[in-house]
Amino acid sequence: MGLVRHLRGVCVTLLVLLALARKASPQIPAASVVDVESVYLFDFAKFVRWPSGGEHPTITLCVAGPGSYGDRLKQVVQGEKINGRSLAVRAVQRADGVAGCDVLFLSASLKEKAEPILAAASGKPVLTVGDSLTFLDRGGMIQFTMIDSRVRFAVDMESVARGGLGLSSELLKVAVRVRGAAGPVGGEETP
């Protein structure tokens, strides 16, 4: 219940602040998809269980995609810690850059360039997140999706298990779809 309240609170706070800011100054844009996905990436890292011995003092969030994602994510995590662990953000350009990533975001804008990067993370304790329409089908763990102009996400538990990771039930309750789970969680389970 804590994650649900937290995510709702983040969304409500963002919407209220943006509405107030737009009244005061109509030149301030609404929260972008990049803004919302960056907050989600930070929040996802709070609800991952890495294999024992896999934790180190810094959680590294990697971005394979436009610089705007990395720049925004750096702003989101600046000064933050998760369970006493500091956070770092870095760009990944090629498959050999996946080493050391704890969370890896792959932008749909990469198209076929994403495949070798995703393959390099496959079976490793790296939470893979993407925004392409077929990300889960290609072996990704969490896929962003737009529903009613809102950023939501779906989870593939088989890919998560292959990476040796665990996800909090609180995170799964917020997902619009969880596939490969033992039973329906956070939406309808799909085969």
Span 158-177, pLDDT tens digits: 999 999 999 999 999 999 99
CA distance 90 to 61: 7
What is the pLDDT confidence band of residue 67, given thresholds at 50, 70 and 90? Answer: confident
- Mean pLDDT for 136-147 is 96
pLDDT higher than 90, residue 191: no
Q: What is the assigned CATH class of domain 32-179?
A: alpha beta
pLDDT higher than 70, residue 21: no
* pLDDT, position 54: 63
What is the pLDDT confidence band of residue 12, given thresholds at 50, 70 and 90? Answer: very low
Exposure string for 78-95, b = 16+ CB within 10 A, e = fewer: eeeebeeeebebeebeeb
* pLDDT, position 30: 62
Q: Is the pTM of this model over 0.75?
A: yes
* pLDDT, position 22: 41
CA distance 174 to 172: 5
Q: Which residue ranges make up each domain of the chain?
A: 32-179
CA distance 184 to 191: 11
What is the pLDDT confidence band of residue 13, given thresholds at 50, 70 and 90? Answer: very low
pLDDT higher than 60, residue 17: no
Q: What are phi and psi of 28, to 5 degrees?
A: -80, 120
The percent of residues above 70 in pLDDT, for the chain, comes to 77
> Which residues have CB under 8 Å from 131's CB, separation 6+?
37, 106, 107, 108, 143, 144
* pLDDT, position 5: 53
- Mean pLDDT for 146-162 is 95
